[in-house]
Structure 1
Amino acid sequence: MKITFILPKLTRHPTGGGKIVYQYANAMANAGHSVEVLHPETLFLWNLRKNPFLMLLSLAADCARLLRGWMGRSASIVSWMTIDPAVKIRVVPALFPRYIPHADVVVASLWRTAEYVENYPASKGAKFYFIQHHETWSGPERRVNQTLMSSMNKIVISGWLRDVVKDLSGDDAYQVPNPVDHDEFFPTAPIANRRHLVSMLYSPHIWKGAADGLAALALAKRKFPDMEAILFGISPRPDALPSWIKYVQNPAKRVLREEIYNASSIYMCPSWTEGWGLPVLEAMACGCAIVTSDNGGTRDFVVNEENGLVVAPKSPDALGQALMSLLADAERCTIFAVRSVEMAKEFTLQASVSKLVAALEDRPVAEMRC
């Protein structure tokens, strides 16, 4: 099968959605499929600007990027992940049909890429839309929802996204759960001996709930002065972060596994909404009990009172109370962490790739959930 994946602009920093697509590209190329991943120089987002002056500036920037793409000046290198040599990575000027190869299947991965893919001629391949979030945070809700209501074949990563697609379009989407890389994330430190350390992904996006997470940590710190916290993210350390909280920018894989996840007894996810929540699953694979908001995505692998505690979104006090509950009960925290490891084992790359191939070949998937 010849497959074209369409991703947004190639970035120098890791992205969760990009990582998943690259993992699938590697695995499918290794299985003998012909796989190409395309990144556009520009998605022409200038018309999302509300200010006319900013709109013109954005249009000029888009045109400059298009020209750079025509001149072939962009390197097609993913610096933060190992790509199978059989996978072709290519930067194209834009997502116009002339730059898209003929294939058996073409897969959109972002609402704006879906707007292009929906209108491709049949020669570009059967049209699929790989939905990793309800992306109203990155574009106008009307346009985002229109892509979810399109005639493309839809693949979702979580149960709540399947429900969103069903409610909007009436379509039954294929569900292909995101895998965790078990060669990369696994327990290396005894679970029962871990200190009171809470880890959390930090993101400046408001819907990621960082402010709620920091408030919860401050609340727990007052009752448990020995509690430590370590945050990580791609942005520089926030100025307002208390000095007692450690922060790691762009941690290497080994650091993320050894010094963050495996050092932690609890991983906290304060997001208001998540398409999946891959860092949570990675932390589970490394032996963390989970405290999370009910953000949608994590429902597929965090079960309240089984491997973690789930509270309502936008509830920093409830997050803090959940943290304190686990910090006060080491035995319960350890039980949750051990269960997390076992639950994470269900989400393998092999299982997910099998489901994805079945979806792309338009065969029924006997079991829609790992």
Structure 2
Amino acid sequence: MPLRFRKKAADPNRMKITFVLPRLTPRPTGGGKIVYQYANALAEAGHEVEVLHPRTLFLWRFRPTTRTKLRSLAADCAKLAGVGQGREPATVPWMKMHADVKISVVPALYSRYMPDADVVVASLWRTAEYVERLPVSKGEKFYFIQHYETWSGPERRVNQTLRSSLRKIVISSWLGDLVHELAGEAAWQVPNPVDHDEFFVTAPLDARTRTVSMLYSPHTWKGAAEGVAALVQAKAVFPDLRARVFGTSARPALLPDWIDYVQDAPRHVLRESIYNASSIYLCPSWSEGWGLPALEAMACGCAVVTADNGGTRDFVVDGENGFVVPPKAAQPLGDALVALLGDDARRAAFAARSIGLAKQFTLEASVHKLLDALAQRRPVDAS
């Protein structure tokens, strides 16, 4: 059943909330999906919610050469000049949105294009730079931190946003530690939830074959090369091993022919043909803000083999529901796969614990923590 909140007429706690995402994309993004989920839930709870997407964030300064800088600047200016004034209504092509959530595209994140609100929430380092400069009429300023985004911007600029005056909300404990280290302040932690209406067990744990699933991303730090090498290592020990890799790009050339690949898998395919068809989920990323696919796989009954990437620390416990190995190396991942593939009883025990751990991460619990953050209420044990 979908999450339901009771609406109250003239609720004094009702807020007008603006979420600020990067540009609207035709394909799913993990960070965007989480924000849209919260937007839907908050609208269902009776809050007035708008999600803004700028046409440009003026990233031309960060291009590597003078030629690419000029080309990017010209494209940015064209985007800004080629549209009308104000906010234009839009739709999210890959996610069903609550009817009361307003999706808008604006030329840029300038004050004149931003609505007045009670709360405004940045969600990327570059959007945080703009939100910090907004007038107070645009709302209390928050920064929803889903990763340490040095992969998308200069470390100095990213760190400046983490030290900014914005109130910080993080999705994982390691990001909270990072904010405390850089800014000397405590952040609210709102863990990413699993959609338990979409991801659940449909295949018996003890009947699963030697099949490993993995997310592919072209970003080097996502560890695809190490993950594939680990799968090849395990295949040499267990010739019956199958692997099911999924992603949003076309089939990558580095995959051997024996590995299945699914592009743009719908949720039911992800649940039935990938997660529930697997006995182990492999997460080879060097760094993760959270690692939601691993948690979704856990909810579907997978044991986990993961690199120690930060994000999965909050739900993968080494030796209890999976194995955690050092990042940036294929051999430890392969060794862990071989150990777990060769011990079916242990693998099934890990999978059972995964299901229990995943049940702790619900949308309702995360929404309530998010509302506490936006209302600036801290838990009793927060520092």
TM-score of the superposed pair, with normalisation by structure 1? 0.98
Q: Does 1:24 align with 2:24?
A: no
> In structure 1, what is the Cα distance between the partners aligned to 2:194 and 2:276?
15
Detail structure 1 runs of 4+ shifted over 2 Å in the superposition: 67-75, 365-368
Find the counterpart in structure 2 of residue 136 from structure 1: 150
3-state DSSP of counterpart to 1:192: helix
**How many residues in Structure 1 have an aligned counterpart in Structure 2?**
368
**Which residue among 345, 358, 364 is the counterpart of 1:331?**
345
Find the counterpart in structure 2 of residue 40 from structure 1: 54
The 8 Å contact of residues 186 and 257 in structure 1, kept in 2 or not, is answered as yes
> In structure 1, what is the Cα distance between the partners aligned to 2:203 and 2:85?
51
Find the counterpart in structure 2 of residue 217 from structure 1: 231
Find the counterpart in structure 2 of residue 274 from structure 1: 288
Q: CA deviation at 1:74?
A: 7.2
Find the counterpart in structure 2 of residue 240 from structure 1: 254
> In structure 2, what is the Cα distance between the partners aligned to 1:364 and 1:238?
45
> In structure 1, what is the Cα distance between the partners aligned to 2:43 and 2:275?
30
> In structure 1, what is the Cα distance between the partners aligned to 2:255 and 2:241?
16
Alignment of 1:302-341 (within 5 A): 302-341=316-355
CA deviation vs aligned residue, 1:289-316 (integer Å, no higher than 9, x gap)? 0000000000000000000000000121
The 8 Å contact of residues 179 and 352 in structure 1, kept in 2 or not, is answered as yes
Q: Does 1:201 align with 2:215?
A: yes
3-state DSSP of counterpart to 2:206: coil
Q: Does 1:66 align with 2:83?
A: no
Find the counterpart in structure 1 of residue 100 from structure 2: 86
Structure 2 vs 1, CA of residues 280 and 193 (structure 1 numbering), >3 Å: closer, same or farther? same
The CA RMSD measured in Å over matched residues stands at: 1.2
Q: Determine what percentage of the aligned residue pairs are the same residue.
A: 67
**Which residue among 63, 67, 74 is the counterpart of 1:53?**
67
3-state DSSP of counterpart to 1:65: helix
The 8 Å contact of residues 355 and 365 in structure 1, kept in 2 or not, is answered as no
Structure 1 counterpart of 2:376, which letter? D
3-state DSSP of counterpart to 2:209: coil
The 8 Å contact of residues 88 and 104 in structure 2, kept in 1 or not, is answered as no
Structure 1 counterpart of 2:295, which letter? L
3-state DSSP of counterpart to 1:236: coil
Q: Which runs of 5+ in 2 are unaligned?
A: 1-14
The 8 Å contact of residues 2 and 34 in structure 1, kept in 2 or not, is answered as yes
Find the counterpart in structure 1 of residue 299 from structure 2: 285
> In structure 2, what is the Cα distance between the partners aligned to 1:216 and 1:120?
48
**Which residue among 344, 354, 360 is the counterpart of 2:358?**
344
